[in-house]
Amino acid sequence: MFRLLLAAAWLLGLASPAFATDAVTLPAREAVFKPEVHAWARVDSVAQMALRMPLAARLQRVLVSPGQVVGVGAPLVLLGGPRLDGQISVAKADAEAARIQLDAAEKTAASALRSFPSFINRRQLDAAQAGLGLARGRLAQALARQRALLAQTTISSPVAATVSAILTAAGADLPAGAPLLNLLARGGLWLRAEVFGRALPIGSLGHFVPADGGASVPVRLVAWLPARSANGARVANFAATGAGADWQDGEAGEVVMEGPEQTAVAVPEGALILDAGRWFVLTDQGGRLIPVRVEPGPTQGDDVLLLRGIAPGTPVVVRQAYLLFHRDLAARYTPPD
């Protein structure tokens, strides 16, 4: 019985709070830091512009190559072939016929005006002038169709862009609506980042570091997209703050953002204790070592910044904190009998 009582007293001693007689403590100090958020990012195109065949024709010649930068109105491809050439010939003949009809209508209207009112009445004069108007309209319509067909023999770039893909080879006979090539408008690239953790405010500044070792690009947070990615990360839209970032579609890397200044409590790295997935520090409270749960943040040299848990000036164990925290291990895991 005496031996059992001795063992029970020993176990109770281990279960009681530890005293700080042999513990080395330092006061936690206040620190100011700017939180950084690191995220994987990729340069994506906002939208590709697809140019298609305006009508059925043959692709005579491609004037550009993938990756080429083109300006507004730059010729891209030439169209032709028997079908388009035949339509242009018919439109030209129609315009010529309409011009002849207009000449005849002008002569008729002039003769009617000279004969009024001696030889013709008002109704006949109005009919001659109406015929003149119809002849002018038919000629304008025929000329417009002829110009439209001639304009469609050359397809030009509607915007300043980069040729991203050519989809059809020269010599192919294509129907109307067939894809020809894709353009990426200048300024049509954006930086898409997948961010885990806290969301920084819109307008936060940072920089994009390409994975290939290229120069970093200053960026600004433009918007948080309303939907998350498949892995649960927030999706952020970034734009370059400088003039014309030298980005390429598909380029990947890391974006680093800096948030506003915050205050925290700095403690040496050796003061942190991990237990059951939670972080603690041992604090000296009236000569007793009391564990306090904390939330670690970024590091500053050999110190770890605590975002919450203790106040500046709190004495914290900085040497053998892990051993002191677990000194009552036997009391916690030994069966009571």
- Band (pLDDT 50/70/90 cuts) for residue 156 is very high
pLDDT in tens, 274-287: 988 899 999 988 88
What's the pLDDT score for residue 99?
94
Which of the listed ranges 22-31, 86-95, 234-243 does the model predict with the highest average pLDDT? 86-95
Instruction: Say yes or no to pLDDT of 244 above 70.
Output: no
Give the mean pLDDT of 173-198: 87
Evaluate if residue 243 carries a pLDDT over 70. no
Q: Report phi then psi at 4, rounded to 5.
A: -65, -45
- pLDDT at 198 (0 to 100): 72
What is the Cα–Cα distance from 12 to 331, expressed in whole angstroms? 7
Closest CA to 209 of 193, 223, 197, 196: 193
Q: Phi and psi of 250, rounded to 5°? A: 95, -5
* pLDDT of 317 over the 50 cut: yes
pLDDT surpassing 80 at residue 93: yes
Q: How far is CA 159 from CA 171, 180, 185, in A?
A: 26, 16, 7
Look at residue 6 and tell me whether its pLDDT is greater than 50.
no
CA distance 105 to 107: 5
Dist CA 300 CA 267 (whole Å): 10
> Which pair of tokens denotes residue 258?
């800096």
Of 101-110, 205-214, 215-224, 327-336, minimum mean pLDDT range: 327-336
pLDDT average, residue stretch 196-221: 85
The closest of 249, 279, 266, 127 to 189, measured between CA atoms, is 249
Nearest to 17 by CA among 290, 304, 211: 290
pLDDT higher than threshold 60 for residue 11 = no
The model's confidence at residue 259, banded by pLDDT at 50, 70 and 90, is confident
What residue ranges define each of the domains in the chain, with the CATH number in brackets?
2-33+262-333 (2.40.420.20), 37-47+187-258 (2.40.30.170), 53-182 (1.20.120)
Phi, psi dihedral angles at 93 (to 5 degrees): -65, -40
Phi-psi region of 189 (alpha: psi -120 to 50; beta: other; left: phi over 0): beta
* pLDDT(10) > 60: no
CB 80 within 8 A of CB 174: no
If one compares 110 and 241, the residue with the highest pLDDT of the two is: 110
Q: What is the pLDDT of residue 272?
A: 93
Which is more confident, 331 or 254? 254
Cα four-point dihedral sign 312, 315, 319, 323: negative
pLDDT score of 214 more than 90: no
Q: Where does the pLDDT of residue 76 fall: very low under 50, low under 70, confident under 90, or very high at 90 and above?
A: very high
* Confidence band of 334 (pLDDT split at 50, 70, 90): low
Q: What is the mean pLDDT of residues 129-139?
A: 93
- What pLDDT shows up at residue 2? 45
> Considering the entire predicted model, what is its pTM?
0.53
114-129 pLDDT tens trace: 998 888 899 998 999 9
Residue 159 pLDDT more than 90?
no
266's CB contacts (< 8 A; 6+ apart) are: 28, 29, 30, 31, 300, 303, 304, 305, 306
Average pLDDT of the segment spanning 50-76? 92
